[in-house]
Structure 1
Amino acid sequence: MIKFAVIGTNWITQKFVQAAHDTQSMKLAAVYSRSMESASEFAQEFNVDTTYDSLEALACDDTIEAVYIASPNSLHCQQSILLMEHGKHVICEKPVASNIDEATRMFEVAEQNGVVLFEAYKSQFLPNFKQMQLGLAKIGKLHKAHINYCQYSSRYQKYLNGENPNTFNPAFSNGSLVDIGFYCVAATVALFGEPDSVQASAKRLDSGVDAHGCAIFQYPELDVTLTHSKVSDSYAPSEIQGELGAILIDHIAECTDVKIRYRDGHIENLTQSQSKNSMSYEAQAFADCIGGDQTTLAQAKLRALSVAKLITEMRQQVGVVYPADK
């Protein structure tokens, strides 16, 4: 049983702990928060006695084998490195780092210390994402794809009210691309690998981060268009077009429905049932990597570094700059 701690006490941390417990391979043993009151309140929910408001103290706790990090993006690098240098395995919420330089350094530290660094990108491990991958062979030669994720942020009104929430604050390495758009970039890389070239555009808010944007990824014989937004909703599915048909995917982050529409009008439903907690699959993959699954670990590392490289380049093209870049 892997004893793990969490950094952060928000809803996504709660969901990950539940997912980790579902694997029956991991058990929450400690909680960190900047506020001891918040740490204690979260710990009580899961009957955990150990709480910290000091990262250094958590890092030095030899009973903790792994840590789930759900802090602001700007803190991922320094927190992960501190923990890995103390021998802890780390699963870090996406994006794993603010830029490619940080991501590269983090994976170097993981290798130097013989620990697992795993980016918490859940979609690639979902049963229906795997169904989508298998479906590619059924639709013939690929030519076009449109990967779409647009979701109106619950914090956008706070931004409009002048409250400057973290979601739209460059100091926290945030914005549409690294949040919503991440799923589009990561899904494209997981499906097709790293593109030959990328061309990105975006609309920036006065705070300096992007509110929404799009990009074209060029492959030798395939063009992939990506659209993302935190200031509008979209109900359109993502689509992968081949010469024999097209794969339609509802909600690229969750892959709730996957089907093929063939040129003759026939529809093949590829959808499988998935756990209500979609983080269960990434939690199991992380546990498997700690247990020695080198194939999954290598694939996850390659994807994480490719995505970090692409997002860094896309931000440079649209002029979104974080303090971490300087």
Structure 2
Amino acid sequence: MIRLGVIGTNWITDRFISAALSTGHYQLTAVYSRTLDKASEFASKYGQVKCYDSLDDLANSDVIDAVYIASPNSLHAPQAKVFINAGKHVIGEKPLASNITEVQELVALAAEKQVLLFEAMVATYVPNFDVIKKALPKLGRLRKVYFSYCQYSSRYQKYLNGENPNTFNPVFSNGSIMDIGVYPLSCAIALFGEPGSMTAQGSLLDSGVDAHGTLVLHYQDFDVTIAHSKVSDGFIASEIQGEQGTLLVDFISQCRGVKLCRRDEPVVDLSVEQDENTMRYEAEEFARLFNASIVSHEGLIRSQIVSAITTQARAIIGVRFPADEQ
């Protein structure tokens, strides 16, 4: 049983806890918040859970084996370092860190301390993503890939009203490519590996983060075009086109459905059933690695490639975070 501590008391933390407990591999033992009152209020629905308002105290306690970090993006890396240095395993909510330098530092530190570092990138662990990987040979030679994830942010109106919500604030390493674009980008890297080169475009808000944008990953025989947005809603399926057929993927960030369209053949629905809480699958993968004492894993390679691309893309479109200056 993995004794789990959590940092963050928002909806995504609740969702991950529910997913982790449903696997049967975890026990929630600790909750951290900036105030004990907030930590206690959040923890009350989970029974006997220790509460902390000190990261160091939690990291050096004997009540957890691993921590799930769901704080603002800019805090992911510095908080992860505290726990890795204390010998605790880390599940970092996406993105793992603000930039590639921070990601590489975390990977190196985890290797030195021999602890498991894991990015909670849900899209690459759901069953239908495995369906996509296995179906690729049926497409023949790949020619075009279009991934789209555009979702109007519930906090955008607050921004338009003159407020400064975290999701549009560069201080917290946010914006469209970091919050939205990393999903289809991670899927592309998991499917096709590191591209030979990339191009990027983005539209900036006055706050200094990108509202929406486009990434193009250039491979030898095909390109992957990724559309991402936090200021508009998208409803089109993502596509992987080959000379012999095309895969249609519904909602690429969770791969809700997969259809195979081959020329002159009926469309085949390849979708398999997935848990409604798709975070279950990333929790299961972390538990598998933990129980097998595996600290060097494929996910870390992917996290570094993704972070290198988002760091480069932000440089191209002019998004700079305070974390980039440190």
Q: How high is the TM-score relative to the length of structure 1?
A: 0.98
Distance 2:246 2:49 in 1: 52
Which residue number corresponds to residue 234 of structure 1? 234
Find the residue that maps to 1:227 and give its secondary structure.
Answer: strand
Query: Do 2:32 and 2:58's aligned partners in 1 also have CA atoms closer than 8 Å?
Result: yes
How much has 1:297 moved relative to structure 2?
4.8
2:266 counterpart letter in structure 1: H
Which residue number corresponds to residue 304 of structure 1? 303
Find the residue that maps to 1:84 and give its secondary structure.
Answer: helix
Query: Do 1:289 and 1:297's aligned partners in 2 also have CA atoms closer than 8 Å?
Result: no
Which residue number corresponds to residue 116 of structure 1? 116
1:138 maps onto 2:138 in alignment = yes
Distance 1:174 1:48 in 2: 34
Q: Cα deviations across residues 197-229 of structure 1 (Å, max 9, x unaligned)?
A: 000000000000000000111000011111000
Which residue number corresponds to residue 81 of structure 1? 81
Find the residue that maps to 1:3 and give its secondary structure.
Answer: strand
Distance 1:297 1:48 in 2: 33
After TM superposition, list the pairs within 5 Å mapping 1:239-318 onto structure 2: 239-292=239-292, 294=294, 297-318=296-317
Find the residue that maps to 1:68 and give its secondary structure.
Answer: strand
Distance 1:45 1:175 in 2: 32
1:63 maps onto 2:63 in alignment = yes
1:222 maps onto 2:219 in alignment = no
How many residues in Structure 1 have an aligned counterpart in Structure 2?
325
Distance 2:36 2:109 in 1: 29
Distance 2:127 2:119 in 1: 18
Distance 1:224 1:292 in 2: 34
1:54 maps onto 2:50 in alignment = no
Query: Do 2:30 and 2:51's aligned partners in 1 also have CA atoms closer than 8 Å?
Result: yes
1:149 counterpart letter in structure 2: Y
Which residue number corresponds to residue 205 of structure 2? 205
**Cα distance change of structure 1 residues 264 and 297 upon mapping to structure 2, 3 Å threshold:** farther
How much has 1:293 moved relative to structure 2?
6.1
Indicate the larger mover: 32-41 or 227-236. 32-41
Which residue number corresponds to residue 187 of structure 2? 187
Which residue number corresponds to residue 151 of structure 1? 151
Distance 1:48 1:176 in 2: 38
Q: Percent identity among equivalent residues? A: 50
2:324 counterpart letter in structure 1: D
Indicate the larger mover: 54-63 or 102-111. 54-63
How much has 1:291 moved relative to structure 2?
1.3
Distance 2:300 2:207 in 1: 32
Find the residue that maps to 2:90 and give its secondary structure.
Answer: strand
Find the residue that maps to 2:319 and give its secondary structure.
Answer: coil
2:143 counterpart letter in structure 1: H
Query: Do 1:43 and 1:49's aligned partners in 2 also have CA atoms closer than 8 Å?
Result: yes
2:301 counterpart letter in structure 1: L
Find the residue that maps to 2:87 and give its secondary structure.
Answer: coil
Which residue number corresponds to residue 93 of structure 1? 93
2:286 counterpart letter in structure 1: F
Find the residue that maps to 1:48 and give its secondary structure.
Answer: coil
Query: Do 1:118 and 1:297's aligned partners in 2 also have CA atoms closer than 8 Å?
Result: no
How much has 1:298 moved relative to structure 2?
1.5
Distance 2:50 2:232 in 1: 41
Query: Do 2:142 and 2:242's aligned partners in 1 also have CA atoms closer than 8 Å?
Result: yes
Distance 2:63 2:43 in 1: 16
Distance 1:323 1:96 in 2: 16
1:93 counterpart letter in structure 2: E
Query: Do 2:4 and 2:64's aligned partners in 1 also have CA atoms closer than 8 Å?
Result: yes
Which residue number corresponds to residue 18 of structure 1? 18
Distance 1:293 1:239 in 2: 37
Distance 1:144 1:308 in 2: 23
In the alignment, structure 2 segments of 5+ residues that lack a partner are none
Find the residue that maps to 2:297 and give its secondary structure.
Answer: helix
How much has 1:48 moved relative to structure 2?
2.9
1:322 counterpart letter in structure 2: F
1:37 counterpart letter in structure 2: D
After TM superposition, list the pairs within 5 Å mapping 1:170-181 onto structure 2: 170-181=170-181
Find the residue that maps to 2:236 and give its secondary structure.
Answer: coil
Find the residue that maps to 2:62 and give its secondary structure.
Answer: coil
How much has 1:49 moved relative to structure 2?
3.1
* Displacement over 3 Å in runs of 4+: none
2:275 counterpart letter in structure 1: S
**Cα distance change of structure 1 residues 293 and 192 upon mapping to structure 2, 3 Å threshold:** farther
In the alignment, structure 1 segments of 5+ residues that lack a partner are none
Which residue number corresponds to residue 323 of structure 1? 322
How much has 1:265 moved relative to structure 2?
4.4
